[in-house]
Structure formats: structure tokens, C-alpha cells
């Protein structure tokens, strides 16, 4: 079935790719999804990329329960207010009304900091550097598969520190060394890093840092956030320790997360009118080998050549699949693997076997070449590296070509309508100006500079002295 063109109907294109690449489907409870094996394999590769980096920076994984007593959530006022509209509450269980309702975790700061109050006594117990992989539930009014689902999978890191400086350094380290590194090197998604405005901040955070990416419909995607929580949670949950000077002090907190929404990010950052384009580092199969034959006599020789190509690739650590299904013609297989975004396709027919060559096609550019069978392993490995780099470069060029510096609010509104993208403009710091832009154009401040410097300019909305430059965009 043909996909809608991205330029005609991006949301329709997205939905069709999710379905036709067999990634996921909506499930029965509103806003929930079934992640199918191919989609889950992509998620597992994303998970590995982040988990490796989380551990390499000194963190350990653990696991907390999904049910949180409602009273626990109520201790941090801003936090409970922020999440109240989204939480699901269990009031009945075991055939009875519960004495105390249980919240299904929307995030786990509350239950984790309640435990930290028992785990932390002295500065010697710090820092705590923990992470968990789990599901969370946030009641979603406008669900979209992978991007906004009522239940989603994620990792949430929760760390406790002796000083504010250490906690701030931790949240920035996660942003740069874990999140941005995995996004760019593995997902091939270029990201911009920054701070959130107060309106976009995590409920209960002092500062929220984020990585933001631009999708091919020129809307921004918040791809991951890292929060500096100050002492808010330590005070609400009584996490105190004896400091080096003997006094009792509250610990400083961070929390940070990335989720299955990144699968949606990969689809929308790289996909084209023929379907998914997966970065090789992420692709469940990096190469598909398609045998081409008409007669049973041709079949044996062709399959043998395919098997030896696959063996040569596996020896190099390449993930390869030989599609030897007899019930489908090669053209059908080509379309299917293109839809699923497999980075390289190798074709072997009787004439190739006779000539000792293999036909190789790149999914990202569509270019084809003929290559001696003996050197095919090396050539394909080379191509995989070059596809990985070129997807990142293409996405970065696309983003940079859609980053504008409008001179006034009228020009900004025009550019946000067409073609869309990031608008870099002065901001006075007032929530009212931010709300005006949102009301007029649906654009929000996606990020503010990590290290704000005073600028010589005016607010694009009210014309007052600007505090800093903000990047505005319409976003998922
Ligand atoms: Zn202003």
C-alpha cells in the first residue's frame, strides 16, 4: 500500500509507516499501544545505547514498584499539582475499596526520595547514582503512538548529592555525555541542548535541561530531559545527612529520562516517502540479502552465494538477514525492507553468481553499485559507516536550513507557518510574552542557552530589553 507523501500529510505518513513497517498498533485502553517485535527491537537498541552510557558514567540500575501511596505524592506541592491532571489512581483492589488509594507512577521521584530518606545518613552515603528502566502512566488526552501514549517505557535516573554544584554538574553531564552522545552517535539525531523556561519546566524542578531535535515536518521534538531539583524533594521527603562540618543538611537532587518517544523521533527525523530509514547502529538487521532466481536450477547456486555473503558479513559483526522466502517475489521483498528501513540491501542473481559480483543498494540515498563478491564484506561495512554519518549530517543540515532569525513577531509568525523550524529571537523573560507567542502561533520556547549571556537586543514580542535569546518552535 502506498504511503501518503510526507509533504502532503505528515501525520498520515507517520501513522502509515508505524503500521506498514509493523512497529506498533493502538491497543484497547485509550492511548495505549502494543509495541510489535520490529518496533521493540529498535527500542531495545535505543535502550542499550543509553544504558551503556548510563553505566559508563557510574550509575547503577535498580527497580522501584509502580504503585505509590497517594499521600506520598502530595508532599511536594508543585510536583503533585503538575501531575494531578495526568495520574491514574487505583481505588479498588482485591474486591474491596482500598483504605488508601494508590497512584500508578507518572514518574518516581516521590517513592524514590521516600526511600532515600532511609538510605542517606551521612555525607559518606552520597552520591546516590541510580537509574531504573520501567513503564509509567500519564493519562493522555490526545494520544499518538510512540510520541504521546498513556503508558510508555522509559528510563528514569534519580541521583542525590552533597552540594548544589555537584548536582548541577551531574544533570549537565547526563545531558551531554549520555543523552546527546547516544542521540547523535547511535540514533543519528542531531540535538540542541538548553534550559527550559519556567513554563516548560518539570514540576518541582529548579532547572530543566533538555535536548531538542527537529523532525522532517519542521516541528521540534523534546528528545530527553535532565532536571536539577535543588533541595525540593529532600525537604519534602526528609532526606538529611550529616555534613563534613557535622551539621545536618538536605541533599540535592537530579532526575532525568528518555522514553519510547525516541522511536517516534527516529521515524520522523530520518523517514522518507518510502518508509523508515534506520541508522545502521540502530537497525535490527543492517543488511538484507535477497536471492533472485526463476528456476529451481538457479536457486541452489544463488542461495549458496547468498549464504557465503551472509557469513562474510557476520564475521565482521554485521547483523544480516537472508530473505529466502519462496512465497514472495524480489520486488515485494525490496518494498518491504525499504519500508522497514534496512540500511543496505544486497541482491544476488544467477548472472551475478556467474560474474562473481553482488549488487548493493543503499536505503538512505537509493544508489546502487556492483561489487566483487570477494570484497563485498569489506565494502558493505564501509557503506554502513558512511550511512550512519550521512544520516546524521543530512538531519543536521535540514535542521540548520530550518533555523531562522526573524526580525519581528510578524516575520516569526510567517516563518512558523511556513516552512516552520527553530526561530531564534530575543526574549525579555516574561511569561506573558511567551504565552502570547503560544496563543498566536502554538510555538513554545524549546530551549534557552545553557550559559546565558546578556544580549544587546529586544524582545521579539514586546520590544523591551531582551534577557537572552530563545529558540521557539512548534513541538510534539
Ligand atoms: Zn517581552
10 pLDDT more than 90: yes
- Residue 329: band (very low, low, confident or very high) from pLDDT cuts 50, 70, 90: very high
- Closest by CA position to 21, among listed 263, 347, 383, 368: 263
449 pLDDT more than 90: yes
For residue 214, report the phi and psi dihedrals to the nearest 5 degrees: -105, 130
Check residue 456 and give its pLDDT.
87
Check residue 83 and give its pLDDT.
86
How is residue 198 written as a grid cell?
519556567
Check residue 80 and give its pLDDT.
82
User: If you measure from the C-alpha of residue 426 to the centroid of ligand 1, how many angstroms do you get, rounded to a whole number?
Assistant: 8
User: If you measure from the C-alpha of residue 378 to the centroid of ligand 1, how many angstroms do you get, rounded to a whole number?
Assistant: 57
- Residue 76: band (very low, low, confident or very high) from pLDDT cuts 50, 70, 90: confident
User: If you measure from the C-alpha of residue 81 to the centroid of ligand 1, how many angstroms do you get, rounded to a whole number?
Assistant: 27
- Closest by CA position to 201, among listed 173, 163, 228: 228
User: If you measure from the C-alpha of residue 45 to the centroid of ligand 1, how many angstroms do you get, rounded to a whole number?
Assistant: 43
Check residue 84 and give its pLDDT.
86
DSSP single-letter state for residue 4: P
SS3 of residue 241 by DSSP: strand
- Residue 403: band (very low, low, confident or very high) from pLDDT cuts 50, 70, 90: very high
Q: What is the dihedral of CA 370, 371, 377, 381, to 10 degrees?
A: -60
User: If you measure from the C-alpha of residue 200 to the centroid of ligand 1, how many angstroms do you get, rounded to a whole number?
Assistant: 17
Separation of CA 262 from chain center: 2
- Closest by CA position to 136, among listed 87, 205, 72: 87
User: If you measure from the C-alpha of residue 461 to the centroid of ligand 1, how many angstroms do you get, rounded to a whole number?
Assistant: 5
User: If you measure from the C-alpha of residue 474 to the centroid of ligand 1, how many angstroms do you get, rounded to a whole number?
Assistant: 19
Could you tell me if 226 and 181 are in contact, meaning their C-beta atoms sit under 8 angstroms apart? no
Domains contained in the chain, CATH given = 10-270 (3.30.930.10), 287-383 (3.40.50.800), 403-473 (3.30.110.30)
User: If you measure from the C-alpha of residue 168 to the centroid of ligand 1, how many angstroms do you get, rounded to a whole number?
Assistant: 28
Cβ neighbours around 2 below 10 Å, total: 8
Q: What is the mean pLDDT of residues 243-258?
A: 98
| Model pLDDT for residues 45-69, shown as the tens digit of each residue | 999 999 999 999 999 999 999 999 9
Burial 209-243 (b: 16+ CB within 10 A, else e): bbbbbbbbbbbbbbbbbbbbbbbbbbebbebbbee
User: If you measure from the C-alpha of residue 196 to the centroid of ligand 1, how many angstroms do you get, rounded to a whole number?
Assistant: 16
Q: What is the mean pLDDT of residues 423-439?
A: 97
User: If you measure from the C-alpha of residue 465 to the centroid of ligand 1, how many angstroms do you get, rounded to a whole number?
Assistant: 8
User: If you measure from the C-alpha of residue 46 to the centroid of ligand 1, how many angstroms do you get, rounded to a whole number?
Assistant: 39
User: If you measure from the C-alpha of residue 428 to the centroid of ligand 1, how many angstroms do you get, rounded to a whole number?
Assistant: 4
How is residue 133 written as a grid cell?
528502566
Q: What is the mean pLDDT of residues 220-228?
A: 98
User: If you measure from the C-alpha of residue 447 to the centroid of ligand 1, how many angstroms do you get, rounded to a whole number?
Assistant: 16
Block residue for cell numbers 514498584: 65
User: If you measure from the C-alpha of residue 442 to the centroid of ligand 1, how many angstroms do you get, rounded to a whole number?
Assistant: 17
Contacts of 177 (CB under 8 A, 6+ apart): 53, 57
Check residue 454 and give its pLDDT.
79
User: If you measure from the C-alpha of residue 449 to the centroid of ligand 1, how many angstroms do you get, rounded to a whole number?
Assistant: 17
| Model pLDDT for residues 83-112, shown as the tens digit of each residue | 888 999 999 999 999 999 999 999 999 999
User: If you measure from the C-alpha of residue 215 to the centroid of ligand 1, how many angstroms do you get, rounded to a whole number?
Assistant: 28
- Residue 169: band (very low, low, confident or very high) from pLDDT cuts 50, 70, 90: very high
Burial 379-403 (b: 16+ CB within 10 A, else e): bbbebbeebbebbbebbbebbeebe
- Closest by CA position to 421, among listed 200, 190, 223, 213: 213
User: If you measure from the C-alpha of residue 458 to the centroid of ligand 1, how many angstroms do you get, rounded to a whole number?
Assistant: 8
**Percentage of the chain surpassing pLDDT 90?**
95
304 pLDDT more than 90: yes
Block residue for cell numbers 525516541: 262
User: If you measure from the C-alpha of residue 78 to the centroid of ligand 1, how many angstroms do you get, rounded to a whole number?
Assistant: 26
Q: Which residue has the higher pLDDT, 141 or 436?
A: 436
Burial 183-200 (b: 16+ CB within 10 A, else e): bbebbbbbbbbbbbbeeb
User: If you measure from the C-alpha of residue 446 to the centroid of ligand 1, how many angstroms do you get, rounded to a whole number?
Assistant: 16
7 pLDDT more than 80: yes
Contacts of 120 (CB under 8 A, 6+ apart): 126, 128, 160, 239, 240, 241, 251
Q: Which residues have beta carbons under 5 A from ligand 1 (an ion)?
A: 428, 430, 433, 459, 461-462
User: If you measure from the C-alpha of residue 433 to the centroid of ligand 1, how many angstroms do you get, rounded to a whole number?
Assistant: 5
How is residue 60 written as a grid cell?
547503577
Separation of CA 260 from chain center: 7
| Model pLDDT for residues 335-389, shown as the tens digit of each residue | 999 999 999 999 999 999 999 999 999 999 999 999 999 999 999 999 999 999 9
- What is the sign, positive or negative, of the torsion defined by CA atoms of 234, 240, 244, 246? positive
User: If you measure from the C-alpha of residue 177 to the centroid of ligand 1, how many angstroms do you get, rounded to a whole number?
Assistant: 34
Amino acid at each position: 500500500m502506498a504511503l501518503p507523501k510526507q509533504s502532503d500529510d505528515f501525520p498520515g505518513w507517520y501513522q502509515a509507516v508505524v503500521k506498514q513497517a509493523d512497529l506498533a498498533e493502538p491497543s484497547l485502553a485509550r492511548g495505549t499501544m502494543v509495541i510489535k517485535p520490529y518496533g521493540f527491537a529498535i527500542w531495545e537498541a535505543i535502550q542499550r545505547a543509553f544504558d551503556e552510557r548510563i553505566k559508563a558514567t557510574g550509575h547503577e540500575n535498580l527497580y522501584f514498584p509502580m504503585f505509590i501511596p497517594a499521600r506520598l505524592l502530595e508532599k511536594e506541592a508543585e510536583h503533585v499539582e503538575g501531575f494531578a491532571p495526568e495520574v491514574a489512581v487505583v481505588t479498588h483492589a482485591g474486591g474491596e475499596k482500598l483504605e488508601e488509594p494508590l497512584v500508578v507512577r507518572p514518574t518516581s521521584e516521590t517513592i524514590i526520595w521516600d526511600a532515600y530518606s532511609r538510605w542517606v545518613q551521612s555525607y559518606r552515603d552520597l552520591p546516590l547514582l541510580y537509574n531504573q528502566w520501567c513503564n509509567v502512566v500519564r493519562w493522555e488526552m490526545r494520544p499518538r503512538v510512540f510520541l504521546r501514549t498513556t503508558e510508555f517505557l522509559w528510563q528514569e535516573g534519580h541521583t542525590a548529592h552533597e552540594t548544589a554544584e555537584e548536582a548541577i554538574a551531574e544533570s549537565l553531564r547526563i545531558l551531554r555525555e549520555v543523552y546527546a552522545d547516544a542521540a547523535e552517535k547511535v540514533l543519528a539525531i542531531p540535538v540542541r541542548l538548553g534550559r527550559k523556561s519556567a513554563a516548560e519546566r518539570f514540576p518541582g524542578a529548579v532547572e530543566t535541561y533538555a535536548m531538542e531535535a527537529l523532525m522532517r515536518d519542521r516541528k521540534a521534538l523534546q528528545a530527553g530531559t535532565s532536571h536539577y531539583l535543588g533541595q525540593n524533594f529532600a525537604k519534602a521527603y526528609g532526606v538529611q545527612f550529616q555534613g563534613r562540618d557535622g551539621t545536618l543538611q538536605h541533599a540535592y537532587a537530579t532526575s532525568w529520562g528518555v522514553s519510547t518517544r525516541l522511536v517516534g523521533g527516529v521515524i520522523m527525523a530520518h523517514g522518507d516517502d518510502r518508509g523508515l530509514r534506520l541508522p545502521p547502529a540502530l537497525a535490527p538487521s543492517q543488511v538484507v540479502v535477497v536471492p533472485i532466481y526463476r528456476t529451481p536450477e538457479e536457486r541452489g547456486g544463488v542461495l549458496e552465494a547468498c549464504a557465503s555473503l551472509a557469513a562474510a558479513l557476520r564475521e565482521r559483526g554485521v547483523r544480516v538477514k537472508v530473505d529466502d522466502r519462496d512465497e514472495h517475489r524480489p520486488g515485494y521483498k525490496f518494498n518491504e525492507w525499504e519500508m522497514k528501513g534496512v540500511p543496505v540491501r544486497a541482491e544476488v542473481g544467477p548472472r551475478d553468481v556467474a560474474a562473481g559480483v553482488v549488487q548493493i543498494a543503499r536505503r538512505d540515498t537509493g544508489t546502487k553499485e556492483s561489487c566483487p563478491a570477494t570484497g563485498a564484506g569489506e565494502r558493505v561495512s564501509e557503506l554502513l559507516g558512511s550511512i550512519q554519518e550521512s544520516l546524521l549530517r543530512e538531519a543536521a543540515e535540514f535542521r540548520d536550513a530550518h533555523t531562522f532569525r526573524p526580525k519581528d513577531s510578524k516575520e516569526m509568525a510567517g516563518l512558523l507557518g511556513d516552512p516552520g523550524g527553530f526561530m531564534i529571537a530575543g526574549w525579555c523573560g516574561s511569561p506573558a510574552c511567551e504565552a502570547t507567542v503560544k496563543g498566536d502561533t502554538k510555538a513554545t520556547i524549546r530551549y534557552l542557552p545553557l550559559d546565558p549571556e546578556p544580549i544587546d537586543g529586544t524582545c521579539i514580542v514586546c520590544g523591551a530589553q531582551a534577557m537572552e535569546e530563545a529558540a521557539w518552535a512548534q513541538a510534539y
